[in-house]
Each structure stands twice: as structure tokens, then as C-alpha cells.
Amino acid sequence: MQGETLDVTFTLSLATVERVGRLLESTDQSVVSSLVDHLHEKFALQSAVGCELVDGPRENISRASGFMEVRWTWRCAGLEVLEIRNEAFFSLDPVHTHIARVSLGERGVLERLITASNRGWSISLVSDEMRSSGFTSYFRLGVEHIATGYDHLAFLCAVLLAVVVAHGGGLRDVVFVVSGFTLGHSLTLALGVLGWVRPSAPAIEGLIGFTIALVCVELLVSRGGESRARMGVGLTLLGCAILAAFVGSAISWWGLLALALFSGCYLSLLARAGNHARRYHGGVTVLFGLIHGFGFAGVLLQAELPADRLVAALLGFNLGVEAGQVIIVGAMVVLARVLAPNARLAEQPAAIACGLLCGLGTYWFVVRIFA
């Protein structure tokens, strides 16, 4: 923002461009032009007097960086309150999340999540309390992200079911595995945001679905179904590997075969571990936390944060994720105690829930790696 002139930029990864282009089902124009038209139709600015479009949309694709930018220039008179309305992508994916970042020059920078349930943003430009977004803003961003990250919530639910029902653990075991998950995703969140490790985003999103499905399969192993569990996981991954060899995927065919080998060994180990199964489960939860951490990192990477605010953003966002995680896990534990105080009574509902989560995780895995 410079005076009454506002330069607007949408930044999208090329992987997102390809997926959204397919969802738009454009037949008479290119994927890029269809996407640009969608953004132009779904985004709007408004002020007290009014806003007019001066220039744009203009797109710029950089294969080297892996991103596409779409730019507009607006002029808004009477800028005491700026109304931002963003409807982009929600008709295609209701759980999509945008990060909105407004630069006010010397007055600072503001950030906010734009979701399907909160598509507008009203900014008072005459407020004396306006200041640059800091630790508190990123803390809130982290809480909001874990609350709307349904795949991460599904994984936490699967972990709790595995600990309590499959392995007969108590509150101490819940704290142990959740702490392991925290340790894992905190490490890769930092590595990803600092740019030290940059894995493929579609592959990470697919692997998050895989972690949900595999943790749920543990319940089948705990009931003596090791051979069925290994066969089901193995055949699914083998089928994906064959398909990947012909059409390609975010994870190579040999990577999928490696996942099949890992899954078979892990499930066999659990079946023979006896009382030590909880420890192995805790170790794998740390490993899976590493994968989820890269997923969290994608949120901050899209915000293109300046270097002087990176540490505050990373610390605030991570603590926000942890705070939201503690609240959610606590609520799940209390709800489980209220609905099923007897562990035996909880087995059948838990088996149904695990089946549903396993199906959901498998769906996410397949759809995301072949998107």
C-alpha cells in the first residue's frame, strides 16, 4: 500500500496451479488463463468511497523458483477502512487456506489466514494501535492453522486411538507420543522455514495421508491381524508403484516400494514386540512428526517473510501450533473418558473410527501424489 495505490499479488506454487487448473475443468482456454480469470472474479477490494482497478491482472511464471504470480494495481479513495474479500478456490476446495499479508510501509505489516469460514478482512487504517505483526500474530496464526489443518487433526486422533486402544496405554503414554510428534515437527518446521531442507510439497502432503493410514492399521495388528494388515498396505502401495511407473507421481515408484518395505517391517515388529510396542510406536511418531513439520513449514514459506522477522515468526507460529495441539489433544482425551469410561466399551467405536480415518488417509495419499 502506497497512499491510495494498492499493489496486489497472488503467489501460487506451480503444483497448486496444475491441481487447480484441473479442478476448473477449462476446455476452451489454457490452465493459466483460466486460473487468472478465476482469481480476478473472486478477489475484490472496497473502501468508503470506492476502489477501481487501474491495471491487471498480469501473470508471471518462474520455473526456476517454482511459483506463479498474478498482479493487479488498484486505487482506493477514502482509505479509512479497507475491506478485502477473497473467494478464490473455496468452491473447489473448502479446506483451502490463504495467507494474506498487507504491507503498510513504515506502519508495519499485517498477516491473517483467509479460510472458507472467514473470507473477508476489514482493516482500520486510522487506528493508533496498528503496528507490525509480531510474535502474537504468528502465535495466533499457528493456532488457527492447526485448528483448520484437518489432516494433522486426523493424525492426532489416529495416534490417540493407537496408543489407548491398540497398545492399552494411559495418559502418560499419550503425553509421551504427543511429545515425540512435537519434537519431530518442530525440527523440520525450523529446517523448512530456514531453507535448509526443501522437500517436494506434493510428496509431503501425500506422505501425511500415509502416516494417518499406517497408524490406524496398528489397531488391526493389535487384534492379531498382522498378515491382513501387511497384505492390505503392501497391495495398496504396490498398485500405486505400478501406476507411478507408467504415469508418474509426486513419489517415485521405487519410493513407494520403499514405503511398502518399511510398512511391512514396522507392522511385523509391532506384532512381535509385546509390551515394547509402545516404544516403537513412539519412535515412529517422531519420524512421522518430521513429515508433518514440513507441511507446517509450507504455511510460513508462502508468506515470503523478511529475514528480520523470521525468528519471531518461526517461534510464534510453532508455539501456536503446540498450544492448539495441547488443547485439541486434551479435548479428545476428556471426550473419550466421558463417552467410553470402560476401555472394552471403547474398542468397537475405536475400530470404526480407525477404519474411517484409514480410508481418509489412504484417499489423501493417493489423490495427492497423483494430483
Span 150-157, average pLDDT: 89
Percent residues over pLDDT 90 in the chain: 25
CA distances from 368 to 147, 154, 240, 249 (A): 21, 16, 12, 9
Cα–Cα distance between 33 and 39 in angstroms, integer? 10
pLDDT at res. 131: 53
Q: What is the pLDDT of residues 95-124, one digit of tens each?
A: 677 878 888 877 777 877 787 878 988 888
For 168-177, the CB contacts below 8 A with 24+ separation are: 168/343, 169/278, 171/333, 173/278, 174/329, 174/333, 176/278, 176/282, 177/281, 177/282, 177/285
pLDDT at 307 over 70: no
pLDDT at 213 over 80: yes
Cα–Cα distance between 212 and 353 in angstroms, integer? 12
Look up residue 355 and give its amino acid: G
Span 182-189, average pLDDT: 91
Give the 3-state secondary structure of residue 198.
coil
Lowest mean pLDDT among 166-175, 203-212, 337-346: 337-346
Q: Would you say 185 and 289 are in contact if contact means Cβ atoms under 8 Å apart? A: yes
Listing DSSP states for 261-298 in one string gives: HHHHHHHHHHHHHGGGHHHHHHHHHHHHHHHHHHHHHH
pLDDT at res. 63: 75
Cα–Cα distance between 305 and 314 in angstroms, integer? 10
Retrieve residue 263's grid coordinates: 510398512
The model's pTM is 0.75
180 Rama sector, left if φ>0, alpha if ψ -120 to 50, beta otherwise:
alpha
pLDDT at 343 over 70: no
pLDDT at 341 over 70: no
CA 331 to chain CA mean position, Å: 21
pLDDT at res. 364: 93
pLDDT at res. 133: 54
pLDDT at res. 209: 94
Span 151-170, average pLDDT: 80
Cα–Cα distance between 20 and 12 in angstroms, integer? 10
Higher-confidence residue of 240 and 196: namely 240
Give the 3-state secondary structure of residue 75.
strand
Span 308-326, average pLDDT: 83
Higher-confidence residue of 245 and 309: namely 245
Retrieve residue 186's grid coordinates: 518442530
Q: What is the pLDDT of residues 30-72, one digit of tens each?
A: 888 888 889 999 999 988 788 899 998 999 988 776 788 999 9
Q: What is the domain partition of the chain in residue ranges? A: 5-133, 141-369
**How many CB atoms lie under 10 A from the CB of residue 249?**
22
Higher-confidence residue of 27 and 203: namely 203
pLDDT at 12 over 80: yes
Lowest mean pLDDT among 128-132, 223-227, 283-287: 128-132
Higher-confidence residue of 171 and 56: namely 56
pLDDT at res. 169: 65
Q: Would you say 228 and 278 are in contact if contact means Cβ atoms under 8 Å apart? A: no
pLDDT at 258 over 90: yes
- How does residue 138 score in pLDDT terms, banded at 50, 70 and 90? confident
pLDDT at 344 over 60: no
Give the 3-state secondary structure of residue 127.
coil
